[in-house]
Structure 1
Amino acid sequence: MKSIEEVFEGFKDKTVLVVGDVVIDYYMRGKASKISKEAPVPVLALEKKESRLGGAANVAMNLRALGATPILCSVVGDDPDGEAFEQLLEYENMPNKGIIRSQNRITTTKLRITSGLQHLIRVDNEDVHPLIDLDQKSLLHHIKNLLDECDLVIFEDYDKGTINPEVIEETIKLAKSKNIPIAVDPKRRNFTKYQGVSLFKVNVADLQDGLDIEFDALDEKQLANAAGQLKENVAADNYFITLSKNGIFYDSGKESGKLNSHPRQIVEVLGAGDTVISIAGLCLTLGLPLEFIAEMANIGGGMVCELPGVVPIDKEKLFQEAKENPILKKYL
């Protein structure tokens, strides 16, 4: 790669299999200007209702926004929300060939009710038990059939039951046999099951939860010790620890470092991790240096926090900021 332009052009040639828990994010927005007479709660004057693809589907949205072709592989319910999910995919011009409709699950939804930028309540409707054998076999069948089309696998794990140790082990085995890189965004239940992946990306809270440890991420020694414990428990080629407003830590065993975040007007941090794993995964397929990958993901993760709700990255804004970034300029 000789330029940022070539990097972004390279994204267009990539097809990515996204395996994980998908969600519909429902929003009800309005203004709360009085308290109910029925109970001491605010009354929302509803102004807008909205539905968005969330969870692993937001990773797919980020990938598509960057120019790549995402293929979601997941299980949703054979219910009205499952139908709504497939309609959202169709509206976004994304394929549904990796989506399984199951009578044994419900479709995960999250309803956020907000007044301006203030969250009033979130209502979750979900089924987090592991897949039954029939659904697991169907999921692995889809993964096996779709892998030949793909340049990258991303596991986006939200602990909702779609991903389990058998799905992880078999998918990693298949991907590695085809020399397809694998990037992971884990949660507690399967945290140490992702052995031998190309990139293991985790935030501080999930790292503490996944390994049952406590550390101060602002203390460089404690952060390095936590990274060491991560490497002892999960074998990977590369590791990212995202530090929210404090940037990102990267480590490959051969090189490591911490990159500071960039000044932002933070509105919400929802979906930042989805953006980070999407950018990092695509950069990984292009064989870019680890510090470059970390900084590009660092820029994008902060950028989506400037907008309300779960939103994908704005490719043009990312491109413009990347062109002027001194760390990225070192490599191109």
Structure 2
Amino acid sequence: MIDSYYFGKVDRISPEAPVPIVSVQKRENRLGGAANVALNVQALGANPILCAVIGNDDDGNLFNDLLKSQQLSPEGILMSDNRITTVKTRIIGNNHQVLRVDSETDKNLNSSDCKEFITKVLNVLQSKKIDAVIFEDYDKGTITDEVISSIVNYCNEQNIPTTVDPKKRNFLSYKNVTLFKPNLKELREGLNIEIHPNKLNEIEEASDTLNQSLQNKINFITLSENGVFIKTDSENYHVAAHYRNITDVSGAGDTVISVASLCLALNQSPKTIAEISNLAGGLVCEKVGVVPIDKDQLLSEAISKLV
């Protein structure tokens, strides 16, 4: 998807309605959604191949231009006449988000687009040396049950790690993946249970309940200001959040799944995955808008706070 921004100043209220007037000083289009995950992976030194379905429209052409400007390959991109390209437009006044306008569809892919998209993804997996596959699910209908099962089954056959940042619609469809990373809200909604954010025993019990359905190897639950919780069959850890001057939480989940996936591909321990990912998610919250992680800043913070 595209993240479109209008940056400006607010110094008065509209006479037409009780809303602020933003005097626009700059406009900017950025890669967003799963593409922001790709930018995070790229920023950390890896080589991402983005696979997605966009509309065969002007915004789709803009999306491909943005890919090219970031030196990202379009080989996994399917342009469909049956969909529009998702654009999230954010109005930023005095460094604070005033309004967001979404242009999108969230209908599931039709049968022909679904088959063509699966074929495109499998072609990438078969023609490249892939170290991990990230499912960044924004609940827009691109990732269907058929897409999930086809790709996860292939990856498991080939011993390719799979990681998931889920949403509610497909929450219980991600069976037998390597790492499953819901936030607390998604965990509550996905399991339809109440979980207190400060009660680790409730979070651990929810993780166990989740595994009864999904049989995933690692559950990695982000808890916002309460840090993160990671659990495997043999170990679990809670990592507290670091103090931050929070400016904008947009894109933090993208950064966390990116860092966690790279750590997993490098065979890092669950505790290390949790610690580094938690640190990275906090860092991007200090930036305005959706921005990828700064590798040098992450390294510096990791040395000072984790070593």
Given candidates 289, 292, 302, the residue that maps to 1:312 is 292
1:240 aligns with 2:220: yes
Match of 1:104 in 2: 82
**Structure 2 residue identity aligned to 1:185:** D
Q: Structure 2: which amino acid aligns with 1:29? A: F
Q: Which runs of 5+ in 2 are unaligned?
A: none
1:32 and 1:25 map into 2 onto residues whose CA distance is 21
Map of 2:30 onto structure 1: 52
Residue by residue over 1:180-199, the C-alpha shift from the partner in whole angstroms, topping out at 9 and shown as x without a partner, is: 11001110111011111110
Q: Is 1:175 aligned with 2:155?
A: yes
The C-alpha deviation readout for 1:37-62, integer Å capped at 9, x for no partner, is 33332222111111111110000000
Structure 2 equivalent of residue 18 of structure 1:
none
The residue that corresponds to 1:31 in the other structure is 9
Partner of 1:122: 100
Matches within 5 A, 1:170-319: 170-319=150-299
Partner amino acid, structure 2, of 1:45: S
Secondary structure at 2:140's aligned position in 1? Answer: coil
Kindly report structure 1 stretches of 4+ aligned residues shifted beyond 4 Å.
none
Alpha-carbon distance in 1 for matches of 2:186, 2:200? 18
Relative contact order, higher structure (CA 8 A, sep 6+) = 1
Structure 2 SS opposite 1:51: strand
Deviation readout 1:185-237 (Å, 9 max, x if unpaired): 11011101111111001100111111111111111222222222222222111
Q: Report the more deviating stretch, 261-270 or 97-106.
A: 261-270
Alpha-carbon distance between aligned partners in 2 of 1:46 and 1:288, rounded to the nearest angstrom: 45
The 2-side partners of 1:38 and 1:273 are apart by: 37
Q: Which stretch has the larger CA shift, 62-71 or 283-292?
A: 283-292
CA drift at 1:36: 2.2
Q: What CA distance in whole angstroms lies between the structure 1 residues aligned with 2:192 and 2:2?
A: 30
Identity %: 47
Which residue in 2 is equivalent to 1:89? 67
In the aligned structure 2, how far is the partner of 1:297 from the partner of 1:92?
23
Distance 1:238 1:188 in 2: 19
Hey, what's the Cα distance between the residues in 2 that align with 1:95 and 1:78? 17
The whole-number CA distance in structure 2 between the counterparts of 1:78 and 1:249 is 40
CA distance in 1, matches of 2:158, 2:78: 24
Show CA shifts across 1:259-278 (max 9, x none): 00111111111111111111
Counterpart amino acid of 1:319? Answer: L
2:244 partner letter: R
Where structure 1 has 5 or more consecutive residues not aligned to the other structure, the ranges are 1-22
Alpha-carbon distance in structure 2 between the residues aligned to 1:57 and 1:170? 21
Report the 3-state secondary structure (helix = DSSP H, G, I; strand = E; otherwise coil) of the residue aligned with 1:69.
Answer: coil
Give the counterpart letter for 1:323 in structure 2: I
* Cα distance, 1:118 vs structure 2: 2.4
TM-score, with length taken from structure 1: 0.90
| TM-score for the superposition, normalised by structure 2 | 0.97
SS in 1 for 2:32: strand
Paired residues for 1:11-26 under 5 Å:
23-26=1-4
Q: Which amino acid aligns with 1:286?
A: L
Q: Secondary structure at the match of 2:105?
A: coil
Deviation (angstroms), 1:173:
1.0
Displacement of 1:166: 0.5
CA distance in 2, matches of 1:36, 1:217: 40
Deviations 1:61-107 (A, max 9, x none): 00000000000111000111000100000010100010011000000
Larger strand proportion, structure 1 or 2?
Answer: 1
Q: Distance in 2 between matches of 1:72 and 1:133?
A: 21
Corresponding residue pairs, total = 305
Matched to 2:119, the amino acid is H
What value does the CA root-mean-square deviation take over the aligned residues?
Answer: 1.0
Q: Distance in 1 between matches of 2:245 and 2:14?
A: 33
